[in-house]
Amino acid sequence: MKNFSSERALKFTESVIREMTRICLKHQGVNLAQGFPDFPAPIEIKESAIQAIRADLNQYAITWGTPNLRQAIAEKFAWYNGVTMDPEKEITVCCGSTEAMVSSLMAIVNSGQEVIVFEPFYENYGPDTILCDATSRFIPLREPEWHFDERELTKAFTNKTKAIIINTPNNPTGKVFSYEELNFIADLCLKWGVVAVTDEIYEHILFDGAKHISIASLPGMREQTITINSISKTYSLTGWRVGWAIASAQLTASIRKVHDFLTVGAPHPLQEAAANALRMDRSYYQILAKEYEARRDFLARVLDEAGFHVYRPQGAYYIMTDVGHFGFLDDVTFAFDLVEKFGIATVPGSSFYSRSSFGSTKVRFCFPKKMETLEQAAEKLRHFKNETEKLN
C-alpha cells in the first residue's frame, strides 16, 4: 500500500513515554513513566478556572495571550529570574511549553541549520528539530555529575549553528546547570550569534539548596534567549496546556506568527486561572520544593535498596538509574519486564539518547506522585528485588 506519510513524519517514532503510560494502564501498574502528578492541583486555581468559565471567558483570547496572564508572567519572571520583559511585546502564551518550544524553533531555525542539544535529552527535542528541518548536534552530559566537556561544546558551535537547547533543571538527569556552565554557554552564544532556547519548566523543583539560574539573566543574553515555561509542572496542571515563550521583541514577533497559525491560542479561561496561579503567595514554591524533596528521598532510597544504581537528582522530578548489572538484554527489555511482571512503568533510557546504545543500561523513574503511590511502587520494587535475588 502507498505510504502517505511525509518524510518528516517518518523520521521519528511515537513517544515512548506516552506509550509506556498506555502499557501501564493495560497492566494496571504504578505509572512512574510519564511525568504528571496523581495528586490534585491547588484548589484556588481550579476555582478561578471555574469562575472564568462562568464569567463567559469562553471565546478566543488575543492570540499571543490574555493581557492579564502576560502581565503576571512578566511580574514573576522579574522577581524569580531577575529579568524585566515587556508583556506587550516580549511574551507569547502558547499551548503548553511543548508548543512554545516548537513554535520558537520554527520561528528562528532555517532548513539545514544546526541546533545543539545536550544528551540525554527530553524526547520532544529530537522531533522538534526534525520538524524544523534542522540537524541536531548532540553534546553528551556525562554521569555521575552530568557535566559537559567544554572542548566538545566549543567545537560544536559553527557558522551553521542557530540555537542551543538548554533544559535546567533537567529531564531526565535532574541536573541543575551551574552559573559557570551557563556563563560558558552564554559566551559561545554571544561569540557565534546563537540563540539559547531554554526550557525552565522545573525551575521551582530544586533540592539540597540548588539554585535555578536563567541564562537570559546573564550579561548580553536577554536579547539572545528564548525562555520557555508553563504551568504544567509548577502548579500540577499538565492537562491545561498553558505555557509561554519569553524573548526579545524581535524574536517574539516571529514566534507569535508561527504560534498564531499553529494553534491560534491557549484555552482562554485557563489563561485567566493561570494568571492567578503565577500570583500565588511565594511560600507556595518553598512548600512545593520541600514536598518533592521528600518524594525524591523516598524513591531514591527504595531504588537503592532494590539494587538500582541511582543518579541522585538536584532538581526536576525524575531519577535516572543504571540497570546494566541486572543482566537484561537492554533497557527496553528491562522496562517491559518491569511493567509486565512487576507492575511498574518506567521509561527506557534509550528514549533520551540519539543512539539507543547510549541509553541501553539506563531506566528513568518519575516521582510526582502521592506518597501512597510511591509506597505501592516500593512494595513492587521489593518484590522485583526478591525475584531477582532468587534468579542469581
Ligand X SMILES: Cc1ncc(COP(=O)(O)O)c(C=O)c1O
Which residues have CB under 8 Å from 124's CB, separation 6+? 15, 98, 101, 102
Nearer residue to ligand X within complex by CB, 166 or 300: 166
Among 104, 161, 225, 238, binds ligand X (CB under 6 A): 238
Binder among 92, 97, 104, 214 for ligand X (CB under 6 A): 97
Binding residue for ligand X, selected from 102, 189, 201, 251, defined by CB under 6 A: 201
The window from 53-61, 183-191, 230-238, 330-338 that contacts ligand X (CB under 6 A) reads 230-238
Q: Which is nearer to ligand X, 201 or 273 (CB)?
A: 201
Report the nearest approach of ligand X to the CB of residue 154 (Å).
25
Instruction: Quickly tell me which residue has 532548513 as its cell.
Output: 111
| Residue 368 CB neighbour total at 10 angstroms | 23
Candidate ranges 22-30, 94-102, 176-184, 290-298; the one touching ligand X (CB under 6 A): 94-102
The answer to whether 184 and 156 have CB atoms below 8 angstroms apart is no
Selected from 29, 37, 65, 96, the binder of ligand X by CB under 6 A is 96
271 belongs to the binding site for ligand X (CB under 6 A): no
Bond preceding residue 67 cis, omega within 30 of 0: no
Q: Does 314 bind ligand X (CB under 6 A)?
A: no
CA dist 36 and 32 (Å) reads 9
- What's the DSSP call for residue 233? T
Q: Does 122 bind ligand X (CB under 6 A)?
A: yes
Cα-flanking dihedrals φ and ψ of residue 22, to 5°? -65, -40
User: Minimal distance in Å, beta carbon 240 to ligand X?
Assistant: 9
Let me know: does 338 contact 308? Beta carbons within 8 Å: no
Q: Which residue is nearest to ligand X (CB)?
A: 96
Q: Which residues within the stretch 22-61 sit at the binding site for ligand X (CB under 6 A)?
A: 35
> Prior bond to 219 cis, omega within 30?
no
Q: Which one, 38 or 305, has the nearer CB to ligand X?
A: 38
Total residues at interface with ligand X (CB under 6 A): 13
When asked if residue 351 is in the footprint of ligand X (CB under 6 A), the reply is no
Residues paired with residue 166 on neighbouring β-strands, in sequence order: 198
| Minimum CB distance to ligand X, residue 172 (Å) | 8
Main-chain dihedrals φ then ψ at residue 114, nearest 5 degrees: -110, 145
List beta partners, residue 244: 93, 229
What is the spatial distance between Cα 328 and Cα 366, in angstroms, rounded to a whole number?
Answer: 21
Q: Which residues bind ligand X (CB under 6 A)?
A: 35, 96-98, 122, 167, 171, 199, 201, 230, 232, 238, 243
